[in-house]
A and B are shown apart, each in its own frame.
Chain A
């Protein structure tokens, strides 16, 4: 169909090769070491607690987490706060409840994380028209593109950390100055990882911004952008995949069983077929 639309599309492709390349597809995202990667992966409880602190003090002023109930923060395998901590934490937040007088009440552990904005339009109005995405499953809604043939290996390594890798890269992908040829719209920021490079979110984290609560007997954790973004990316992965550790533990047992069972099945099959020419 050599119509004008296609010719225009072809021209657009030719003209836009550099643009599409800049649009994030060929951006190389460095893979990080995550405690939850691999078949024995589990979350690092301290890291999740730090990540939660970053989320709470910084991210949650714009981003919601509507699928996360306060109670899940006490679950084993996650940040594992104590019941008392969760109760106290929840009580600091107000949630809408039309069944009570005044329409709102302090949250309890069973409530979902409250949204920072009353409506999507309010969220957009407060953020220059951009909608801050909900964090509940965001770590699984992002990924990285591996070049051929490297993506093939992912099926064998079970690589599932594309989301946190992308989030870490994004948080570290801001640049003070956009490249000279790049036309950065008003109110946007330049980020070499974000698709299209013009991101509505101002650099959210910087060195020394958050003072980590260090438990007694624990070593101090560096208060740097890299550390913050690693911790919050891990926390976001936990929000998206809260049962990861138990899933992998079960998986290992199931896999081990199947391998042994297959061995027994093979032996039985051999025995039954012994003496049969086939």
Chain B
């Protein structure tokens, strides 16, 4: 969509540069002139918001790493040192910690937006897959980052989550020892997690670049899911979407700073203010809220199936719950993209959202009583949605008629 460049180098230097590294031409094509559907709503600003979140995490993280000590005897106190004695450290630390939560809040909205409007469908499968990959990398990064303050939840999360790998047959135990750097969670674990926590955000940034590349080949999806037909359907990215995205980012920063300044610890767990002690198990080991749905799925499987024991089966469901996202473009075979024109899909979509929120809630509850049963029901529904409901609905549903073009739908809306 961006073959036709409107860029003409304005000066001799620009011309010289353009013949060698056409970076100005590239920026103009992709950051300014890029034709973008004119009907994108505010849910589409979350892409830009996520780039901002990644930027905040990297900048605050690099500064934190200058003051943090990755040693089990000093890590906890060094985080407190940052909060107490480093200039501005209190804010940098809470922006980083709150930032992780806000990053996930934004990424969940971004993912669910993509699911509703069918942004994973042809020709955007690679775009979607790269997005899921970013999500997986984010989870790994956030998990390792959570271990670094070396509180009770940090250490026990590291223990519980690395333990998952022990369930894998044959290579499980060696893999577990490789991850931990020993037989139990200790100094080598903290050191390698710190190293990887510093590395992975740059890997994420690289995959984000691919994600945006894959976006710029077919161009944006849009709320009605109808392909762009001609130039009347689009607007140049700048100034229309740069402005809209910038406004979205500022709005998003309002709850962000609310938490960072007024309740920096509300999204965490009080137990993480107790230094890790491998001899004392907390009453409830609870991951950060953004892992809860998947943690609920992991815990829901407490039964053996044939020769597979419950632990391995739980891990398979846990991994499966992510892997199935990669397959989504081929499970939902409906030609119509946008959920707005799919009367049946729409209902099941919202049921799925409610179910997902239910899993989040259940992940925070103790694995006892009614919660165990509910977790199983919600886990089953999670998979049924992908494996049964989406393919079946795609076959039997009769979608509502689609507008012929974006500009037609826009005009119909403004005259309504």
Chain A residues within CB distance 8 Å of chain B: 1-2, 6, 9, 13, 23, 39, 66-67, 72, 133, 136-138, 140-143, 154-155, 158-160, 162-163, 195, 240, 242-243, 247-248, 250-252, 254-255, 258-259, 261-262, 265-266, 268-269, 272-273, 276-278
Contact = CB atoms under 8 A, between A and B. Distances in A.
Interface string B196-215: 00000000000000000000
Contacts of B257: 251, 254-255, 258
B303 A247 contact: no
Contacts of B171: none
Interface in B386-416: 407, 410-411, 414
CB-CB nearest 3 A-B residue pairs: A251-B261, A141-B273, A158-B262
Most-contacted residue by chain A among B247, B274, B302 (CB, 10 A):
B247
A276 B235 contact: yes
B174 interface: no
Given A67-B77, A158-B266, 15 more contacts: A1-B304, A67-B81, A67-B84, A136-B80, A141-B271, A141-B273, A141-B274, A163-B270, A240-B273, A242-B84, A250-B261, A262-B250, A273-B244, A277-B407, A278-B39
A2 B261 CA distance: 48
Contacts of B369: 13
Contacts of B265: 140, 160
Interface string B23-53: 0000000000000001100000000000000
Interface string B239-262: 110011011001101100110111
13 contacts: A1-B304, A1-B310, A6-B302, A141-B274, A160-B264, A162-B270, A240-B273, A243-B83, A268-B243, A269-B244, A269-B247, A277-B414, A278-B410
Given A162-B270, A269-B247, A276-B38, A247 B91 contact: yes
B19 interface: no
Interface string B62-84: 00000000000000010011011
B306 interface: no
Given A1-B310, A141-B270, A277-B38, A272 B240 contact: yes
Contacts of B261: 247-248, 250-252, 254-255
A254 B235 CA distance: 33
B90 interface: yes
Contacts of B170: none
A160 B77 contact: no
A164 B243 CA distance: 44
Chain B binding surface, main DSSP class? helix
Given A242-B84, A277-B38, A159 B270 contact: no
Contacts of A140: 265, 270, 273
A263 B273 CA distance: 38
A251 B260 CA distance: 8
A240 B247 CA distance: 36
A108 B363 CA distance: 49
A2 B270 contact: no
B266 A262 contact: no
Contact of B266 (A136, A160, A242, A251): A160
B97 to A, nearest CB: 13
Contacts of A240: 273
A137 B275 CA distance: 10
B411 to A, nearest CB: 6
Given A272-B239, A277-B414, A258 B250 contact: yes
B267 to A, nearest CB: 8
B90 A265 contact: no
Nearest to B368: A13
A2 B246 CA distance: 55
A155 B254 contact: no
Given A1-B304, A248-B262, A262 B38 contact: no
A274 to B, nearest CB: 11
